[in-house]
């Protein structure tokens, strides 16, 4: 899987933090959208809106498919700090420095709003 930073997703994440539309210390595995929730969101809002809730694009996946967008950071309502933290850990583990840096940018901004 070849991943690159999803600039639209990063910009939306930053905007959500600036609007204080985030959740801290949630249990990400319990709040991460299910496949069914993703499908409903796409049906109601479209693939472009769905894409903005993801920090990365899989360039090997078919353009125009749900599978093209990976590493979600929110539940389609709010950004979850724990989702971003998981993205950062995964990116560091897999050597994806650009994605880890994007997650860091979000986490640093969150720390300014929460400290």
For the entire predicted model, the pTM comes to: 0.94
Number of separate domains in the chain: 1
29: containing domain: 3-114
State the alpha helices, DSSP H only, in the chain: 7-18, 28-31, 35-45, 47-51, 81-93, 97-114
On whether the CB atoms of residues 55 and 99 are closer than 8 A, the answer is: yes
**pLDDT tens-digit map of 43-80:** 999 999 999 999 999 999 999 999 999 999 999 999 99
pLDDT bin (cut points 50, 70, 90) of residue 110 is very high
pLDDT bin (cut points 50, 70, 90) of residue 114 is confident
């Amino acid at each position: 899987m070849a991943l690159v930073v999803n600039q639209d997703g990063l910009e939306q994440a930053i905007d959500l933090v600036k609007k204080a539309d985030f959740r801290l210390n949630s249990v990400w595995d319990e709040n991460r959208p299910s496949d069914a929730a993703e499908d409903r969101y796409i049906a109601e809002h479209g693939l472009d809106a769905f894409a903005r809730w993801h920090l990365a694009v899989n360039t090997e996946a078919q353009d125009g498919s749900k599978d093209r967008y990976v590493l979600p950071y929110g539940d389609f309502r709010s950004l979850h700090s724990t989702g971003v933290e998981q993205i950062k850990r995964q990116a560091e583990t897999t050597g994806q420095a650009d994605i880890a840096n994007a997650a860091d940018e979000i986490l640093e901004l969150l720390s300014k709003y929460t400290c």
